Amino acid sequence: MLAMPIRLKTTLIILLGLFLTALIGPLLLPIPELKNTVPASDLAEADSRFVNIDGLSIHYKQKGSGEPKLLLLHGFGSSIFSWREVLAPLGEIGTAIAFDRPGFGFSARPLRGEWRGTNPYSPQGQLELTLTFLDELKLDKVILIGNSAGGTLATQFALTYPKRVEALILVDAAIVERVSSAGWVRPLLNTPQMNRLGPLIMRQFADEPGLEFLKSAWSNPELISDDIIAGYRKPLQADNWDKALWELSKASRPARLETRLAELAVPTLVISGADDQIVPPEQSELVAQAIPGAVFAKLDNCAHLPQEECPGEFLATVYSFINEIAVR
């Protein structure tokens, strides 16, 4: 048998070294612990409320009373804070409630092994938690208002539990999915190496990348005040926020709702910020066209977060829709 050529042998040794470095390196890399964090519930505000769902402390706020009852669902990287401009005004026409899903705001951030039943970070877990939340607050039927990923959850909920939904308001909802070839990456996310590095990657949301992501959601980023930045960063003072965000990222799955939109049988309003670069208006318009009888509204000088950037126009559009369905 011929001896292996020296060049090939050297190449194989180098490749083996790189492989072992990639395999073992992340397990040896020191990961500093988060500093100055507290239990999420310690961040509660004067009007905060909490309800225990399957052993998890869920943070919510409620304004107003009576009918209609509105449940507001925030998007990824957000919280109840995203509804600060419109929650009280919506409470003037009925009962307006917003809650933080696990991993966000001031709700619990359980780590793997600390929850019972369905993974609360998974799409199914979020559906089940939303249903139980309605049951706990004795809300038989609600108008769901969902922004971005909250719009995805609102749509899934309306399809799964149609008898619990009076109407649907989708705000720059993440429904139309972009073509991706990254499905093969998903199994790698649960490796010991990525479970160690993942939370470190998530910590970027506390720094400049997180701020740039927020700016990209506004038509005029100059309107983002220091108080708004502080409001978005406050939940990042909670224990294990980085690990929880990683758990949620791992548990995410394509919703594939586009082919099911025609099944929706509730009055639906689709709102889009005209300058939205995250979910372009064209995508929201396609969603509206696919839902029987849906109304489409495009708000000028707004982007991905119209309830924050142009709350007056947002509220006027929502009020008009609610008044219309009330007389049907």
Look at residue 28 in the predicted model and tell me its pLDDT: 54
Q: What is the CA radius of gyration of the chain?
A: 22
Look at residue 20 in the predicted model and tell me its pLDDT: 42
Look at residue 184 in the predicted model and tell me its pLDDT: 54
Residue 20 lies in a domain: no
Our measurement of the distance from residue 324's CA atom to the centroid of its chain's CA atoms, rounded to an integer in Å, reads: 29
Residue 18 lies in a domain: no
Name the residue range of residue 225's domain.
40-176+204-326
Residue 146 phi, psi (nearest 5): -125, 130
Residue 305 lies in a domain: yes
Residue 130 lies in a domain: yes
Q: How far is it, in rounded angstroms, from Cα 284 to Cα 189?
A: 30
Residue 183 lies in a domain: no
- The Cβ of residue 188 has, within 10 Å, a number of other Cβ atoms equal to 9
Supply the CATH number for residue 292's domain: 3.40.50.1820
Number of domains in the chain: 1
Residue 14 lies in a domain: no
Look at residue 16 in the predicted model and tell me its pLDDT: 47
Residue 309 lies in a domain: yes
**Starting at the edge strand that comes first in sequence, how are the strands of the sheet with 69-73 ordered?**
49-53, 56-64, 95-99, 69-73, 142-147, 165-171, 268-273, 295-299
Residue 69 lies in a domain: yes
Look at residue 185 in the predicted model and tell me its pLDDT: 62
Look at residue 202 in the predicted model and tell me its pLDDT: 87
DSSP, collapsed to helix, strand or coil, labels residue 189 as helix
Predicted confidence (pLDDT) per residue in 125-176, tens digit: 999 999 999 999 999 999 999 999 999 999 999 999 999 999 999 999 999 8
CA distance readout (Å), 155 to 73, 171, 311: 11, 11, 22
193-204 burial, b for 16+ CB within 10 Å, e for fewer?
ebbebbbeebbe
Residue-level pLDDT, tens digit, the chain, 328 residues: 344 444 544 454 555 454 444 555 555 566 778 889 999 999 999 999 999 998 999 999 999 999 999 999 999 989 999 999 999 999 999 999 999 999 999 999 999 888 888 999 999 999 999 999 999 999 999 999 999 999 999 999 999 999 999 999 999 999 987 645 455 566 666 777 777 788 888 898 888 989 999 999 999 999 999 999 999 999 999 999 999 999 998 888 888 899 999 999 999 999 999 999 999 999 999 999 999 999 999 999 999 999 999 999 999 999 999 999 875 6
